[in-house]
Amino acid sequence: MMPLILSLSNARDISIPNKIFNTRGASPFMKINLNNMRLLIESTPGMGDLIMLTPALRELKNQFPGCEITIMSHPGNLKMVDRLPYVSRVCPIDKSVTGILKTARLLHQQDIIIFTTWQSLYARMLKFLRVSFCAGVCKEKYLKRKYFHLVLPHLDSYGTQYRPQSIANQLEQALGMQLSIDAHYDVSTPTEEEWQSVKTKLHRLGRSLKEEKPYVVFAPVGRTSQAIPSSLVMAAIEHLQKNYPYEIVLSHDRPLPYPQSLIQQEGTNNIYDLSGCLSLRELIALLDRAQLVIATDSGPMHIACARKTPTIALFTTDVPSRWAGPFCHPISLHMPCSSTCNSEKSKTCLKMDCLNGITVDMIHNAIDEILFSSPKEVTP
């Protein structure tokens, strides 16, 4: 899908400084020199898209070390990227009166602004802020209002392409340059204090603070993906207990529906339920030191892979080609409808063959392939 270019003569009256472009008087759609520029990029509220934005950010900073990069996203997710060396600052999407005023001030200070999703409030705000250059995704019914100098294609228009590459392509069109990204993505490095906080919470559940036993994390529920059936979770835990000397940690941002029945079973004293107990930074620390993570296509999956933790991911409402990066071992039945499915459609799906067809043997084989062949080395 080609971007729709809006004529600057018909857009709001702005002045584009020559310092932004390589050639005096050049079109804003030629390559932009970002050194000494202030660039703000908005990301979607999803954890995955924000994490998968990082390869493009890393390459931008590599090409233009003097560029000051600000990331705008959902406030609950920004701690995943606020410590990255190539991110200068973060800006939460805050639509309170105070938040709008702070954001308006920050937007006014930028040389270049890119919205990777449609943000109606901020798009309208740009009309009055006289930003040098702004590009963004726009809903079709608002195209005639010319909120942006350049209208970008929606990320979903790239189909099943690997998401970091789709994001890089979107930024390439906005900035008129090539971004040669690698497949790996980043999240903020957890501190020792955050890991100690996780250990303390495990200790309250009965785990020894002195013993650093290896553990496997189950994150069986995602915000938009289907939960792993309890039968598969129980079978995987039994397989681990029988064949590997690992402890089991259950994690989710809210209490899980079935862990109590697992914990209360005889012989399951090595299971610790941290669901609803961890901050985002603590979750990163937990996943960082795990031997293995078993999850759905979800935020914890992306975080674990970013921290180079081997991860078994069950894909149901999407396809691995779009979201499975390094360190991800996807399990998917590759249903014909998966590439166009989403969380809303899955709620009304009567068959759910994409989930119900996943077998215990698939889980066991994936566990054995990872833990038996190449266990992760964890720094104490």
Q: Which residue has the higher pLDDT, 61 or 344?
A: 61
Range of the domain at 33: 4-175
Asked whether residue 230 falls in the same domain as residue 159, the answer is no
Query: In the numeric block, which tokens belong to residue 83?
Result: 């410590």
| pTM given for the model | 0.85
Helices (H), the chain: 47-52, 54-63, 97-108, 120-126, 163-175, 192-204, 230-243, 259-263, 280-288, 299-306, 320-323, 343-347, 353-356, 360-373
Alpha-carbon 27 to chain mean position: 33
Asked whether residue 297 falls in the same domain as residue 343, the answer is yes
Q: Which residue has the higher pLDDT, 29 or 325?
A: 325
- Overall domain count for the chain: 2
| Domain endpoint, select from 150, 175, 200 | 175
CATH code for position 53: 3.40.50.2000
Q: Which residue has the higher pLDDT, 341 or 109?
A: 109
pLDDT of residue 28: 45
CA distances from 129 to 43, 104, 125 (A): 20, 8, 7
Asked whether residue 119 falls in the same domain as residue 56, the answer is yes
pLDDT mean over 75-100: 95
pLDDT of residue 10: 31
Has residue 305 been placed in a domain? yes
What's the pLDDT tens digit per position in 359-373?
Answer: 899 999 999 999 987
Q: Which residue has the higher pLDDT, 31 or 334?
A: 334
Asked whether residue 165 falls in the same domain as residue 276, the answer is no
Asked whether residue 114 falls in the same domain as residue 37, the answer is yes
Q: Which residue has the higher pLDDT, 268 or 303?
A: 303
Asked whether residue 161 falls in the same domain as residue 196, the answer is no
Asked whether residue 150 falls in the same domain as residue 91, the answer is yes
Q: Which residues have CB under 8 Å from 283's CB, separation 6+?
A: 251, 253, 300, 303
* Strand, helix or coil for residue 317: coil
Has residue 185 been placed in a domain? no
Q: Which residue has the higher pLDDT, 228 or 192?
A: 192
Dihedral through CA 62, CA 65, CA 68, CA 70, nearest 10? 20
Distance between CA atoms of residues 221 and 121, nearest Å: 32
Sign of torsion, CA 312 316 318 320?
Answer: positive
pLDDT band at 230 (very low <50, low <70, confident <90, very high): confident
Has residue 380 been placed in a domain? no
| Domain endpoint, select from 125, 150, 175 | 175
Distance between CA atoms of residues 118 and 123, nearest Å: 8
pLDDT mean over 112-123: 92
Has residue 187 been placed in a domain? no
Asked whether residue 17 falls in the same domain as residue 59, the answer is yes
Has residue 48 been placed in a domain? yes
What's the pLDDT tens digit per position in 200-229?
Answer: 999 888 877 666 789 999 998 766 556 788
Which among 304, 210, 310, 292 has a CA at the least distance from the CA of 243?
Answer: 292
Asked whether residue 333 falls in the same domain as residue 202, the answer is yes
Distance between CA atoms of residues 261 and 41, nearest Å: 45
Sheet holding 68-73, edge to edge: 4-5, 150-152, 133-137, 112-115, 38-42, 68-73, 89-92
Query: In the numeric block, which tokens belong to residue 362?
Result: 């698939």
Has residue 264 been placed in a domain? yes
Has residue 186 been placed in a domain? no
CA distances from 60 to 55, 64, 178, 201, 354 (A): 9, 6, 10, 39, 38
Asked whether residue 341 falls in the same domain as residue 196, the answer is yes
What's the pLDDT tens digit per position in 162-173?
Answer: 999 999 999 999
CA distances from 140 to 4, 125, 317 (A): 11, 18, 26
Asked whether residue 355 falls in the same domain as residue 277, the answer is yes
pLDDT of residue 343: 53
Asked whether residue 51 falls in the same domain as residue 146, the answer is yes
Which of the residue ranges 70-74, 108-112, 123-127, 214-218 would you say has the lowest mean pLDDT? 123-127
Sign of torsion, CA 294 300 305 308?
Answer: negative
Has residue 183 been placed in a domain? no
